[in-house]
Chains A and B, each alone.
Chain A
Amino acid sequence: MAVSEVKLPKNFHQAVEDWRDTFLPDYQFLLDSWEKHFPKEPMFKLCAYREMGVCANIECGAKEGQPKATKPSELDEDQAQHLLGAIRAQASTEFGSIQQHRLTLARAQSEEEQVWVLRMMAEELRHGYQMLHLLVDDDWTCQTQQSSADMVEEILSMQTGSHVLGAFNIDFDSFVDNIVFCALIDRVGKYQLAMQKVSAYKPMAESMPQMLREEAFHLATGVVPMRRWATQAAEGEVYVTMEMMQKAINKWLPRGLEMFGDERGGGSNVRMGLKPMKNAEAQADYYQEVAKVVDDLNIRYLRAKVKDLSIGEARELLANLERGRGKAKGVDHAELLRMPDRDFFRRRGVPAFTMVGFEGETYDLYQDYVQHLRKHLPESYLAGRDFRDYAETLKKVAAGEMTAEDGARKMPELRRVGGSCPCSKSVRWVRGESEEGTKLPVMGG
């Protein structure tokens, strides 16, 4: 299983490095800390990896068994449009998450956690680079009017608020967000990558294996600190409480569920051989996986809180508390983490704006529902733009002034899309070959 290493043409590579200097200013600190935290592990490299020897034939859909496309001209128009959309969305998530993580990275309480997040951010940059490589390396002119330079430019110009998917348009409020985001949102990434591993477009399929390997560590960057926090919370530390983790889960899980796309969709991706699972199917698996993580965190908490509890006793205690919702062995059910209902706080897909509460109960009145959300979401998040946009849209939907479908389409509001942002007009990340070497003004955050 050979892996080939590819670099983007100089001007594109330079554009990503310039972007990195702006949005990942701690990159040098990561390199300087590498030997201390990751001794003997190969140093991070900004490049694309292509895995050789992936399946050469289409693995699902109408053309199953036929050879995979190796260049854009071999795709039919519909397939190409779907794929370009997927590459663009994937790239947007990779670059977008770095813009989110950097806001609160400095607030990490431990150097190890901080360096883990930093390494994960560098790997997200590589994932973004990998997607740009797919846009630049092959000739897409037969499928789109946009030049590869313009496609890359559009992606690098996106900012929190103008990304393709909702989860990447929400600001982080504290380091708890960095960690819970890795545990929940990167887990969706894992699903998407695993599904795209079968892609009928071979360069896409070849790009997935290394990204997936890296993604596994991103999940650990979230889950391991959460497990440690659960223990510390049980021991009475006040830095990150179970309640804070719960509220962060409530903030991110609905966005994670929505990243799978509308519950009724995904059929065309399967038909075109681009993904093996429909949206609802993948989403249901994801929900189960997160439920298992939550279960594990609760067990970790219980065993730290109630001394000398065996694993069997801890499971029994957890089951009892969940059944009776009362107190046992000095633990109150309310202390534990719980899975929000699948339809809680949704703005896209089938349950969009249906006012379903944390436990799956439904609300009739907008006011009551917003009060309910207030109780379940982080305070700092309630004060932000994302929640406000959501609440204002919900108000209109609840009042019958807007349909849920229109509301869903409105979220997120694309405010700062490439061309409409004044600074993106004056600053280009990608320079022509001739402009190389002229230092461009750095675009503000």
Chain B
Amino acid sequence: MSSLVIRGLDTMDIGDIVGIDEKITKQYRPEVWEARCAYYLRRDPDAAVVCVADGTVVGFMLGEVRSGEFGLEEPTGWIEVLGVDPEHQGKAIGRQLADAMLDYFKRRGAKTVRTLVDEEMADIAGFFDSLGFQPSSLRPFVKTL
């Protein structure tokens, strides 16, 4: 593989991100990613990163710094959505995306970074585990309405 470039999200990445999601989930959901990317671009495009190889996005990690949520007053970085093209997984792309994002979170004043992982997604849990994330005492509760 040629050199990888990690950079902030741009609107022209939407098509590639739709493609990665499709490979992973087998669902074609352009509207979802249009709305999501528009959101992260509006919030802070530097807090959402993509990895580009040969002009194509092969991985993305979207998130933002927020404060005042869940009683967490201090600015906290949140990693919210991520995906690496299955053909490029296992090449440390996920790790490089996380490094870039965490570095930015730190510069924005965040002291911690959090994410929520579904227990059924062992691969993602394994990934965060490798990056040094630990389970938190903050437990999600849900009720169907």
Contact = CB atoms under 8 A, between A and B. Distances in A.
Interface string A359-387: 00000000000000000000000000000
Contacts of B11: 183, 216, 219-220, 222-224, 293
A224 B40 CA distance: 13
B30 A311 contact: no
A43 interface: no
A227 B10 contact: no
Contacts of A216: 8-11, 41-42, 45
Interface string A194-214: 000000000000000100110
A223 B14 contact: yes
B133 interface: no
Interface string B25-54: 000101100110110011111100000000
- Most chain B C-beta atoms within 10 Å of own C-beta, residue among A116, A119, A216, A296: A216
Given A292-B12, A296-B12, A296-B14, A224 B38 contact: yes
Contacts of B107: 1
B108 interface: yes
B113 to A, nearest CB: 16
A1 B22 contact: no
Interface string A12-49: 00000000000000000000000000100100000000
B19 interface: yes
Interface in A65-82: none
A228 interface: yes
Contact of B44 (A116, A213, A219, A289): A213
B15 interface: yes
A217 interface: yes
A395 interface: no
A358 to B, nearest CB: 22
B13 to A, nearest CB: 9
A436 B4 CA distance: 56
Contacts of A41: 42-43
- Most chain B C-beta atoms within 10 Å of own C-beta, residue among A183, A289, A296: A296
Contacts of B37: 220, 224
Given A289-B12, A299-B15, A311-B19, A217 B34 contact: no
Nearest to A42: B43
A296 B34 CA distance: 12
Nearest to B64: A41
Interface string A218-247: 011011100110010000000000000000
A116 B35 CA distance: 12
B9 to A, nearest CB: 7
Contacts of B12: 223, 289, 292-293, 296
Contacts of B35: 224
Interface of A: 1, 38, 41, 116, 119, 183, 209, 212-213, 216-217, 219-220, 222-224, 227-228, 231, 289, 292-293, 295-296, 299-300, 303, 311
5 contacts: A217-B42, A222-B11, A224-B35, A227-B14, A293-B11
Given A119-B42, A219-B10, 5 more contacts: A213-B45, A220-B41, A224-B34, A224-B37, A296-B15
Q: Which 8 A-B pairs have the closest CB atoms?
A: A216-B45, A296-B15, A1-B107, A223-B11, A217-B42, A219-B11, A216-B41, A220-B38
